[in-house]
């Protein structure tokens, strides 16, 4: 491979802001695997955020990129999996599998797509120092209307339309909106873009915690919600605390520690079969292989209010943010019914298919 921009390249990042800024360009925030595509003839590398290429996991996309992209180019984008009109991140995660036979099977059963949104090199020219407006124009010229699985992300200069997209596109599984200044160069690793994500709150049952990797202080709080059959399901964690708070939580939670694991709703967490009925912490996957999945069980008597962006199935998609304790709430009132449900929206409409 001989390109003017060679792998690895750290992608340009975005910092969170509360409102969409009027900077001249807004586009949907896709929920998938960020990738930088390096293409030199038939040779293609799909870079990742951790510098480990993802090329082998998406053979069907590699084949499509050979047809859809210019002969020599470097493109920034997002690998997404679309199923039944929505982005399906859980199914996308399953595509990362060590067995070649499984990779081939999934490439046929759950094919992925690439949504492109920036261009770093074209032909023998490095264009990272060009203003984003010029890079975007060149990308649009090269991709045109796209193909069945390679798309140019839609964009708008209209702030009001961006606000509409922020509300509507969530129903298709999108994360929010990314705003970009048109005069900026491509700056790897720097948070020079803006991201605006949804934030909601939920009252959850605190049912356990894990120790911090440094030991001796709380690392994460394990959150639960009850279903209609009064089963407490693990829905995610709250984990962003200052070190002083992590230390004080140890003393705060000590009176709630459940000594009898058999009396705890998640007491059977180490039994793989038990996870079929109740979502519990400790489910082993290729993402958690080798990790210590044990936790300190707490009697489910304390309610915590957390902020979250959106749900992925029956759990929080990302780490929730601690807001406050809710001593006024009955833990058994913390059910899935409190969660806001968004109106569905077909992702195919966003991509113009």
Residues forming the active site: 29
Assigned token pair, 339: 């969660």
Quote the CA–CA distance of 47 and 36 in Å, as a whole number: 5
Quote the CA–CA distance of 57 and 146 in Å, as a whole number: 22
| Dihedral sign computed on CA atoms, order 41, 47, 53, 57 | negative
Q: How far is CA 299 from the centre of its chain?
A: 31
- CB-count burial class (<10 Å; 0-12, 13-18, 19+) for 337: exposed
Closest to 221 (Cα-Cα) out of 333, 150, 300, 164: 300
Q: In what order do the strands lie in the sheet with 191-197?
A: 13-16, 191-197, 176-179, 26-29
Contact yes or no for 66/44 (Cβ under 8 A): yes
| 141 CB-near residues (< 8 Å, 6+ apart) | none
| Dihedral sign computed on CA atoms, order 292, 294, 295, 296 | negative
Q: How far is CA 81 from the centre of its chain?
A: 12
Quote the CA–CA distance of 62 and 48 in Å, as a whole number: 14
Q: Specify the pairing of strand 150-152 against strand 113-122.
A: parallel
Quote the CA–CA distance of 312 and 338 in Å, as a whole number: 16
In DSSP terms, 312 is beta-bridged to: 315
In DSSP terms, 116 is beta-bridged to: 77, 152
Q: Which helix (H) or strand (E) holds 322?
A: strand 321-325
Question: For 324, what's the count of Cα atoms within 13 Å in the CB-facing half-sphere?
Answer: 5
């Amino acid at each position: 491979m001989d390109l003017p921009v060679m792998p690895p390249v750290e992608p340009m990042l975005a910092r969170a802001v509360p409102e969409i800024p009027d900077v001249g360009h807004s586009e949907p925030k896709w929920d998938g695997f960020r990738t930088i595509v390096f293409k030199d003839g038939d040779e293609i590398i799909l870079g990742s955020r951790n510098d480990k290429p993802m090329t082998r996991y998406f053979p069907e996309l590699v084949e499509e990129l050979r047809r859809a992209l210019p002969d020599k180019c470097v493109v920034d984008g997002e690998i997404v999996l679309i199923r039944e009109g929505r982005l399906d991140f859980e199914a996308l995660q399953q595509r990362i599998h060590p067995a070649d036979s499984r990779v081939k099977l999934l490439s046929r059963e759950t094919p992925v797509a690439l949504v492109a949104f920036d261009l770093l090199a074209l032909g023998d020219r490095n264009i990272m120092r060009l203003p984003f407006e010029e890079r975007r124009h060149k990308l649009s010229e090269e991709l045109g209307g796209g193909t069945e699985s390679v798309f140019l992300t839609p964009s708008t200069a209209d702030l009001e339309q961006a606000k509409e997209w922020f509300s509507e596109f969530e129903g298709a599984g999108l994360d929010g909106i990314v705003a970009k200044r048109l005069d900026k160069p491509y700056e790897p690793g720097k948070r020079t873009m803006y991201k605006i994500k949804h934030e909601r709150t939920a009252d959850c049952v605190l049912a356990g915690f894990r120790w911090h990797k440094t030991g001796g202080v709380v690392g994460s709080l394990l959150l639960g919600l009850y279903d209609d059959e009064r089963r407490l399901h693990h829905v995610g964690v709250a984990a962003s605390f200052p070190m002083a708070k992590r230390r004080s939580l140890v003393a705060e939670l000590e009176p709630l520690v459940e000594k009898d694991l058999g009396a705890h709703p998640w007491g059977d967490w180490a039994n793989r079969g038990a996870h079929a009925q109740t979502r519990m912490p400790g489910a082993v996957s290729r993402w958690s292989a080798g990790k210590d999945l044990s936790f300190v069980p707490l009697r489910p008597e304390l309610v915590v209010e957390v902020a979250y962006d959106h749900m992925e199935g029956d759990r929080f998609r990302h780490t929730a943010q601690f807001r406050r304790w809710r001593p006024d709430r009955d833990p058994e009132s913390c059910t899935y019914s409190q969660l806001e449900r968004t109106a569905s929206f077909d992702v195919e409409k966003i991509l113009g298919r």
